[in-house]
């Protein structure tokens, strides 16, 4: 691997003990590597987690800051992380969505985990916050990523706050809201003529070239650390439910990293004794125009065949998802499913969530709400059991999706007569 960092030997990232291969279990010292040198399987962080005193750990967490650093004892970050310059994302709202529940016929308790409340308005701030601490530990000076939009903005902002240079890569045809969010922080933003999978391929080449030396790609050579940020969604959801596991969760899928790490987080909470061990079901959500994982799930395949994306849900438009096979495993193991909805259903679901709960989701949130509705209708989600649906981004970034069918009820002269004539006085 060509990427070398200034210091890789004696890094200390809190409870992180090593990197471990997901396929063969071989362990490697903590460093900016992402693939097993024995079998090329993906690496993930292995921990020496605190054990023996769940109540003490709960109290420690509850006394922590109102952001993801309250879970620092369970993350690959230094113990004094909260004192370092970082965007400090997390602890977003878990909204009890009673009106949406009534529309969908859910009686077991429906919650929306609304991650649009993060600093750059998507869940990506969580994963980037962890990657920043790894980049600091490994001595990188430039932060980079391949992005479907939200990640580019999250890296741009976090780099500024933490004092890194940034250069991020996106498909050239993203929504204006995503491009502006990625550019406004002043780092370099490069549009690549191609789709996300082309951008990702380009970044893999750059990483192996002297041109990319000293660069921390948050979702490539820092991916094992980056992925851990998504565990905080699992921790928060359970803590906000009063240290209880939800029965069912609906999670969007692009690369599949978020879904696999939420499952990892839930399993850790059980192992630590922070929640009672009971079954939960994980459901994955995709847009029909980019549904490689749901297609494989429904066909009963273990292998995910790549697709060429064509959907308004651009944040989820990854045709060749790195964690696709692991998502299939999790959905099958937990008794969940992976489903998809078309673009019209995505728009309808964005409006449904806005109309019922006052939450304006980006297209990825339209995908999860749309898939939730479909899975309730076809009987795969049990409406009598508790259900958490993720909204991972802010509707202001994907205005184009709803603008053609959303606007003023009327445009009138500034007179009471005109208002009366418009019939809006009731």
Among 393, 398, 401, 402, binds ligand PLP (CB under 6 A): 393
In this structure, what token pair is assigned to residue 287?
A: 């847009």
Give the whole-angstrom CA distance, residue 279 versus residue 304.
26
Alpha-carbon distances, residue 60 vs 14, 50, 56, 122, 263 (angstroms): 15, 12, 6, 27, 23
Give the whole-angstrom CA distance, residue 224 versus residue 32.
9
Q: Does the footprint of Zn ion cover residue 43 (CB under 5 A)?
A: no
Q: Does the footprint of ligand PLP cover residue 187 (CB under 6 A)?
A: no
Among 362, 366, 370, 373, binds ligand PLP (CB under 6 A): 362
In this structure, what token pair is assigned to residue 395?
A: 């509707």
DSSP letters of 310-325?
-SS-GGG--SS-TTHH
Give the whole-angstrom CA distance, residue 202 versus residue 342.
29
| Least distance (Å) between residue 388 CB and ligand PLP | 15
Which DSSP helix (H) or strand (E) runs through 215?
A: strand 215-217
Q: Which stretch binds ligand PLP (CB under 6 A): 3-11, 120-128, 179-187, 286-294?
A: 120-128
Among 8, 17, 41, 82, binds Zn ion (CB under 5 A): 41
| Partner touching 257 among Zn ion, ligand PLP, none, CB below 5 to 8 Å by kind | ligand PLP
| Least distance (Å) between residue 196 CB and ligand PLP | 9
Nearer to Zn ion, 18 or 412 (CB): 18
Give the whole-angstrom CA distance, residue 18 versus residue 1.
18
Give the whole-angstrom CA distance, residue 266 versus residue 411.
50
Q: Which stretch binds ligand PLP (CB under 6 A): 50-58, 122-130, 198-206, 341-349?
A: 122-130
Q: Does the footprint of ligand PLP cover residue 252 (CB under 6 A)?
A: yes
Q: Does the footprint of ligand PLP cover residue 258 (CB under 6 A)?
A: yes
Nearer to ligand PLP, 122 or 294 (CB): 122
Q: Does the footprint of ligand PLP cover residue 328 (CB under 6 A)?
A: no
Among 120, 315, 372, 398, binds ligand PLP (CB under 6 A): 315
Q: Does the footprint of ligand PLP cover residue 256 (CB under 6 A)?
A: yes
Tokens 């999250």: give the residue: 154
Q: How far is CA 66 from the centre of its chain?
A: 19
> Which residues, at least 6 apart from 379, have a Cβ–Cβ distance to it below 8 Å?
none
* DSSP state letter for 395: G
| Partner touching 20 among Zn ion, ligand PLP, none, CB below 5 to 8 Å by kind | none
| Partner touching 370 among ligand PLP, Zn ion, none, CB below 5 to 8 Å by kind | none
Length of the chain: 426
Q: Which stretch binds Zn ion (CB under 5 A): 16-24, 73-81, 281-289, 334-342?
A: 16-24
108 with 382: CB under 8 angstroms? yes
* DSSP state letter for 172: T
Q: Does the footprint of Zn ion cover residue 276 (CB under 5 A)?
A: no
Q: In what order do the strands lie in the sheet with 281-287?
A: 93-96, 110-114, 387-391, 248-252, 281-287, 337-341
Q: In what order do the strands lie in the sheet with 142-146?
A: 188-192, 165-171, 142-146, 215-217
166 with 133: CB under 8 angstroms? no
Angle between helical axes of 231-240 and 54-62 (0-180°, round to 10)? 90
Among 92, 120, 148, 356, binds ligand PLP (CB under 6 A): 148
Among 45, 74, 101, 151, binds ligand PLP (CB under 6 A): 151
| Least distance (Å) between residue 411 CB and ligand PLP | 33
| Partner touching 24 among Zn ion, ligand PLP, none, CB below 5 to 8 Å by kind | Zn ion
| Partner touching 391 among ligand PLP, Zn ion, none, CB below 5 to 8 Å by kind | none
Nearer to ligand PLP, 356 or 363 (CB): 363
Among 86, 88, 92, 122, binds ligand PLP (CB under 6 A): 122
Nearest CA to 283 out of 215, 350, 339 is that of 339
| Partner touching 21 among Zn ion, ligand PLP, none, CB below 5 to 8 Å by kind | Zn ion
Interaction site with Zn ion (CB under 5 A): 21, 23-24, 26, 36, 38-39, 41
Q: Which residues bind ligand PLP (CB under 6 A)?
A: 122-124, 148, 150-151, 252-258, 315-316, 362, 364, 392-393
């Amino acid at each position: 691997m060509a990427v070398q960092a200034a210091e890789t030997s004696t890094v200390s990232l809190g409870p992180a003990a090593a990197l471990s291969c997901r396929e063969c279990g071989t362990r490697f010292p903590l460093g900016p590597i992402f693939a097993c040198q024995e079998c090329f399987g993906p690496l993930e962080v292995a921990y020496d987690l605190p054990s023996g005193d769940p109540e003490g750990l709960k109290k420690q967490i509850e006394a922590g800051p109102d952001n993801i650093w309250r879970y620092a004892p369970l993350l690959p970050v230094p113990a004094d992380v909260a004192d370092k310059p970082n965007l400090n994302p997390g602890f977003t709202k878990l909204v009890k969505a009673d009106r949406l529940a009534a529309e969908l016929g859910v009686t077991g308790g429906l919650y929306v985990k609304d991650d649009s409340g993060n600093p750059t308005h998507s869940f990506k701030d969580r994963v980037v916050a962890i990657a920043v601490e790894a980049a600091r530990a490994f001595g990188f000076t430039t932060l980079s990523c391949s992005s479907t939009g939200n990640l580019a903005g999250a890296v741009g902002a976090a780099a500024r706050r933490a004092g890194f240079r940034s250069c991020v890569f996106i498909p050239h045809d993203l929504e204006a809201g995503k491009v502006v969010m990625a550019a406004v922080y002043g780092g370099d933003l490069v549009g690549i003529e191609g789709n996300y999978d082309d951008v990702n391929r380009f970044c893999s080449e750059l990483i192996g070239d002297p041109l990319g030396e000293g660069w921390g790609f948050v979702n490539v050579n820092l991916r094992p650390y980056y992925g851990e940020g998504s565990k905080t969604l699992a921790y928060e959801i359970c803590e906000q439910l009063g240290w209880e596991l939800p029965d069912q969760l609906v999670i969007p899928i692009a690369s599949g990293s978020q879904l696999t790490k939420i499952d990892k987080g839930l399993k850790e909470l059980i192992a630590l004794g922070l929640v009672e061990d009971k079954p939960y079901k994980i459901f994955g959500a995709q847009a029909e125009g980019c549904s490689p994982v749901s297609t494989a799930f429904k066909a009963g395949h273990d292998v995910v065949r790549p697709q060429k994306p064509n959907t308004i849900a651009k944040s989820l438009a990854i045709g060749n998802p790195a964690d696709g096979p692991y998502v299939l495993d999790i959905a099958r193991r937990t008794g969940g499913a992976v489903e998809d909805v078309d673009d019209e259903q995505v728009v309808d679901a964005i409006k449904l969530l806005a109309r019922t709960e006052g939450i304006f989701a980006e297209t990825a949130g339209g995908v999860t709400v749309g898939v939730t509705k479909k899975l309730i209708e076809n009987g795969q989600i049990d409406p009598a059991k508790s259900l958490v649906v993720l909204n991972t981004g802010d509707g202001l970034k994907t205005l184009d999706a709803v603008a053609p069918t959303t606007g003023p009820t009327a445009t009138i002269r500034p007179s009471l007569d005109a208002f009366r004539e418009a019939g809006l006085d009731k």
